Amino acid sequence: MKLPTACTRCRRRRKKCFRTKPDGPCDACAKKQHHQCSLVVQPQGISPQPQRVSVEDLNPQACLSHDLIEELVENYIYYILDRPHTLFHLPTLRAAVKEDTLGDALLSAILAFGCRFHDKPEIASLGPAFMEKSKTLLKLDMENICLENIQTCVLLANLSSSSKNPESEALFVTLGIRMAEILGLDRPDPEDSEVLRETKCRVWWTLFMADRWSSVGRNLRRAMPDFNQETPLPMDEDYFHHLEVDQGSGETPPSRPRTLGLWAYNIMLAKQLGPIRDLNKQWNQEGISEDYVMQRVADLAEGLQLWEAGLPEEKKATEENLRAHSAKSLGGPFLAIHTGYHQHFVLLLFRFLDLNRAQTPKTIEYAELCKYHARSISQLVKLSRQVPNCAMVFGGVGYMTVASSAVLLHTLIFGQQDDTADIRAKLESNYETIYALQKYWPSIQNSVSRETCFGG
């Protein structure tokens, strides 16, 4: 049988395949770290029985066709991009995948997301394996402090969170933060192109967001300062994703006036999460007066309401704005931010549902407000399933929906009878969402079983 003269990767890229060392990888594969060239003959095992591919042997280019890799990356873009994180310039990401210039650790992490949304079970089941492959490759390359490895850290943190592994989530977030600090991602470099500057900005603020949520999940100290206004907030997503791919020059034409994007307001909202977490920790401590608690709740609730009131008209939660964002393929990020707003209120007010605490007009008002925001979560999550280009299927949506369901169930049991039909309908819609999400993130079932909805 005639032996191949070009490796799989070079054939797929339609590039000439040169091999300096007769028994080694081709020159192109040799330059790509932790990549197995198909020309290198692997030692055969003693057993002739077929075996499952181990994580160590799992290689995206060897296991999947290039077309399938691009399809899975498009799954990531459609279902995940700019929702739990904002890490990529869309044309740059697509070009890197097409030209096979994306590092294997980062590509494996993206595929770990993209596989989960594939129709074929044999492809969908590869998600956890690609996650482990990405971890393995990142550990081998950990001292290479670069933007790609920071992006990989964030993806692995999100995957860990969705897999109900908050310890790993916190570890990858902290690693990403330290790398970002060493690279100075919070300080815009005038030599960078507009695309690169904005990408670094988005990675930095994604880490800020991830630090807030992961510290709440494990009751850890936050690793990043509360807010650094000197770092520019992310620009409008539609404008950013329509910028051309960098051509290698830092010189760019003058850009239009910077319009803040959805993620800029998401970051402003995240400022409220730490104080809410701190209050929940203090709530039952000895020496904390009821007057202090009520004043802090009032202050934090006002801060959340001011956030909503301060949104530009085109970013407020209206049906017209949802349709407009959907038309730009930004419906999912739009709904994610507004669902997060309601979740902040649920986290702030859920203790007022306790019927054993003293009832006053204000505590009753807060209990009703908590129920309102739980209903709003249910409504927005339902819209994400109904309106095109509005998908929200990242793991955090499952936990927000579980929290909403817990409040609705409490209301159904202890509330007024005239609410029953509407509450039952919203609970049914929530359970449909949770059931669908369990297909992608089986660990959500743990939250449903234990009803561990509220972090303190």
Taking only the tens place, the pLDDT of each residue in 154-187 is 999 999 988 888 899 999 999 999 999 999 999 9
Say which amino acid occupies 193. S
| Global confidence as pTM | 0.84
Cα 226 to Cα 72: distance, rounded to the nearest angstrom: 36
Q: Are 453 and 403 in contact (CB under 8 A)?
A: yes
Q: Is residue 94 a contact partner of residue 73, using CB atoms and an 8 Å limit?
A: yes
The pLDDT, as a whole number, for residue 341 is: 98
CA 115 to chain centre: 15
Cα dist. 411→106, 149, 406 in Å? Answer: 44, 45, 9
Summarised one tens digit per residue, pLDDT across range 218-247 is 778 888 877 666 789 999 999 999 999 975
Q: How far apart, in Å, are the Cα atoms of 118 and each of 84, 127, 133?
A: 20, 10, 19
Q: Which pLDDT score, from 0 to 100, does residue 50 have? A: 33
pLDDT of residue 47: 34
The dihedrals phi and psi of 41, each to the nearest 5 degrees, come to: -75, 125
| Long-range contacts of residues 177-185, Cβ cutoff 8 Å, at least 24 apart | 177/207, 177/211, 177/223, 177/224, 179/145, 179/146, 179/149, 179/150, 179/153, 180/150, 180/204, 180/207, 182/145, 183/145, 183/146, 183/147, 183/150, 185/147, 185/150
CA torsion sign for 66, 71, 72, 76 is positive
* 119 burial via Cβ count (<10 Å: 0-12, 13-18, 19+): exposed
Cα gap 252→303, rounded to integer Å: 38
- d(CA 433, CA 353) in angstroms, rounded, equals 24
Residues paired with 235 in a beta bridge: 260
* Positions in the chain whose pLDDT score sits under 50: 1-2, 42-53, 249, 452-456
Q: What's the confidence (pLDDT) of residue 344?
A: 97
**CA-to-CA distance for 159 and 151, rounded, in angstroms?**
12
Q: How many helices (H) and strands (E) does the chain have?
A: 21, 0
How far apart, in whole angstroms, are the C-alpha atoms of residue 67 and residue 155?
22
pLDDT for 10: 67
What is the rounded CA–CA span in Å between residue 16 and residue 24? 16
Q: Give the other-Cβ count within 10 Å of 236's Cβ.
A: 18
pLDDT in the model for residue 2: 45
CA distance 89 to 243: 8
pLDDT at 248: 52
At residue 17, the pLDDT reads 73
Query: What is the chain's Cα-based Rg?
Result: 24
d(CA 356, CA 190): 59
Ramachandran quadrant class, 280 (left: phi over 0; alpha: psi -120 to 50; beta: rest): alpha
Question: What is the model's pLDDT at position 33?
Answer: 53
Predicted local distance difference test score (pLDDT) of residue 134: 97
